[in-house]
Amino acid sequence: METQSDVVLDRGPRQGRRGSTSEGGLPELLDALRWRWKPTLAIALLFTAGATLYIESLPPKYDGNALVSIEPRARIADSNLVRVVGTKYSEYVTAPATIAAVAPTINETFGSLNDQINAQIATDTGNLKITARMPTSARAARAANAFAKATAEFSQSDPLLTAQLIAPALPPGFPAAPPRRLLELASALIGSIIAVVFSVLLERGRPRLRTWRDITKLTGYPILGRIPPARQLHAHPTRAFADVHTASAFRILRANLEPHLREGGLDFLVVTSPSPGDGKTTVAALLSESLARLGMKVLLIDADLRRPGLSRLARMEARVGLAQVLRGEVPMEEAVRQGWAPGLWVLPTAQDADASELLSRGFESAIEDARDEYDVIVVDTPPLLSTDDPRTLATMAKGIVVVVTAGSSTGSVNEAVMAVESLNAPLLGIVGNRFKESGVPYYY
């Protein structure tokens, strides 16, 4: 069974917490691919698609191939003569003068033929292969045959060798260039490399917390609890204890706070987070429920007067709540409602434009009055980096819990922790929210 010792880790010196969570090398590459596979795949696909469209738009090129046989003249019996002297024929075919002379005879220009004619003699043979690469198959065959004819005519003035066309070029049925499939494969490979490099640079430039262990490495504070992702937490948070994994996670969180509760000093607990959307309201609500299940009388307060969310979670009206209590319009006992679990009481709030003034002037006295009625007061505050309200409340708290969600920016988490430290507020630890962990043993 997972115990407190499985969760609360690394209580060592905190001065090293500002280090990077990246290990570099292959682990960094694998992490970048694991956590940023969507942009990696998107970049690779976009690059490959663009390159493919460009490659498919390239005009086809056809190769016309004519074969010319070069042999010693009848009176010469030296078989090595072709190997020694025959190379001049391949040079003749590709010479600019030859191209300039042949081009008008086939209605081509020098520019259209230049660099498009190739001639090679096969090793240890007298076979001269003339290749003409042209935009159409007919032009390719016509050009190859014209250069083969010119070669045969050139041989008439050669006292040593003679050349004759033995295999005229026929219009090819398929283009020889560009090698579309090969180019598309290369573009996919290059696109993948670019995408991976981009993902690694993005991960380095904006590192994020991927596992709960990264939180401890970054902040140096203990992990009080790990809340797994669950549909129940999003759809029906007040019924989340019906899920065994969720219930176990919040019992572990409660167990890690119990030493502070037994000491009697933790009667006012603030739950906050670095940024909006980290799940602090849900964690505050279910932590309060878990404490109430111990037989405590718990008051859960929504102190987020800018973007209140507790009333929606608990499905209760917020027209009369904390804002009215702080204004002195209603006493607290009239604004507090019975929660969804025995022993749990809820003080919701509505949005109020004077949030900062109300909290700084009247919240401390309201808490002092509530301490006489409740064993523990849990306060859901705005995110630490969005406004000054949570910092005002943090200075009053006996304990602070920061909720960090999976994928959070290391910079924002670091800044939030430093904000609490700058106030000399009692930061108890971190709650990791929505972290997917494989192989976590549960025993029932």
Q: Beta partners for 298?
A: 344, 376
Are residue 214 and residue 160 in the same domain, yes or no? Answer: no
Of the residues 115, 141, 167, the one at which a domain ends: 167
∠393-397-400 over CA atoms, to 5°?
95
Are residue 366 and residue 266 in the same domain, yes or no? Answer: yes
Question: HEC states along 183-206?
Answer: HHHHHHHHHHHHHHHHHHHHHHHC
365 found inside a domain: yes
Residue 112 to residues 103, 104, 130, 146, 298, Cα–Cα distance (Å): 9, 11, 16, 14, 88
Residue 252 to residues 72, 249, 273, Cα–Cα distance (Å): 97, 5, 19
pLDDT tens digit string along 216-258? 888 999 999 999 888 777 778 888 888 888 899 999 999 999 8
pLDDT computed for residue 72 by the predictor: 87
Quote the mean pLDDT of the chain. 85
Most confident of 15-29, 73-87, 127-141, 303-317: 127-141
| pLDDT band, residue 15 (cuts 50/70/90) | very low
72 found inside a domain: yes
Most confident of 7-16, 276-285, 305-314, 357-366: 276-285
Give the mean model confidence (pLDDT) for residues 255-266. Answer: 82
pLDDT computed for residue 316 by the predictor: 85
pTM of the shown model: 0.64
Of the residues 167, 198, 217, the one at which a domain ends: 167
% of the chain residues with pLDDT over 70: 89
Are residue 277 and residue 149 in the same domain, yes or no? Answer: no
Measure the CA–CA gap between 444 and 435, rounded to whole angstroms.
22
Burial of 148 (0-12, 13-18, 19+ CB in 10 A): buried
Are residue 226 and residue 159 in the same domain, yes or no? Answer: no
| pLDDT band, residue 129 (cuts 50/70/90) | very high
Give the mean model confidence (pLDDT) for residues 351-358. Answer: 82
- Weakest-pLDDT range from 12-16, 269-273, 373-377: 12-16
304 found inside a domain: yes
Which CATH number characterizes residue 216's domain?
Answer: 3.40.50.300
182 found inside a domain: no
Residue 282 to residues 210, 223, 229, 313, Cα–Cα distance (Å): 21, 17, 12, 8
Measure the CA–CA gap between 229 and 405, rounded to whole angstroms.
10
pLDDT tens digit string along 146-188? 999 999 999 999 888 899 999 999 999 999 999 999 999 999 9
Domain that holds residue 118: 62-167
Measure the CA–CA gap between 442 and 444, rounded to whole angstroms.
7
- Weakest-pLDDT range from 24-28, 197-201, 373-377, 422-426: 24-28
pLDDT computed for residue 262 by the predictor: 76
284 found inside a domain: yes
Are residue 125 and residue 270 in the same domain, yes or no? Answer: no
pLDDT computed for residue 340 by the predictor: 93
Give the mean model confidence (pLDDT) for residues 409-429. Answer: 91
Which amino acid appears at position 37 of this protein? W
Are residue 426 and residue 291 in the same domain, yes or no? Answer: yes
Are residue 142 and residue 282 in the same domain, yes or no? Answer: no
Are residue 286 and residue 398 in the same domain, yes or no? Answer: yes
Residue 21 has pLDDT above 70, yes or no: no
pLDDT computed for residue 27 by the predictor: 66
Burial 284-309 (b: 16+ CB within 10 A, else e): bbbbbbbbbbeebebbbbbbbbeebb
Contact 337, 345 (CB under 8 A): yes
Contact 267, 398 (CB under 8 A): yes
Residue 6 has pLDDT above 50, yes or no: no
Are residue 218 and residue 311 in the same domain, yes or no? Answer: yes
Residue owning tokens 């010792």: 5
Which CATH number characterizes residue 93's domain?
Answer: 3.30.70.1130
51 found inside a domain: no
Residue 25 has pLDDT above 70, yes or no: no
How many domains, the chain? 2
Give the mean model confidence (pLDDT) for residues 187-209. Answer: 84
- Weakest-pLDDT range from 24-28, 126-130, 199-203: 24-28
Are residue 236 and residue 332 in the same domain, yes or no? Answer: yes
Are residue 324 and residue 426 in the same domain, yes or no? Answer: yes
pLDDT computed for residue 32 by the predictor: 67
| pLDDT band, residue 320 (cuts 50/70/90) | confident
Question: HEC states along 20-34?
Answer: CCCCCHHHHHHHHHH
Measure the CA dihedral 155/156/162/164, to 10°. Answer: 80
pLDDT computed for residue 143 by the predictor: 96
Residue 291 has pLDDT above 90, yes or no: yes
175 found inside a domain: no
8 found inside a domain: yes
Of the residues 133, 167, 201, the one at which a domain ends: 167
- Weakest-pLDDT range from 62-66, 112-116, 304-308, 344-348: 304-308
pLDDT computed for residue 3 by the predictor: 40
- Weakest-pLDDT range from 11-25, 76-90, 117-131, 390-404: 11-25
Are residue 297 and residue 417 in the same domain, yes or no? Answer: yes
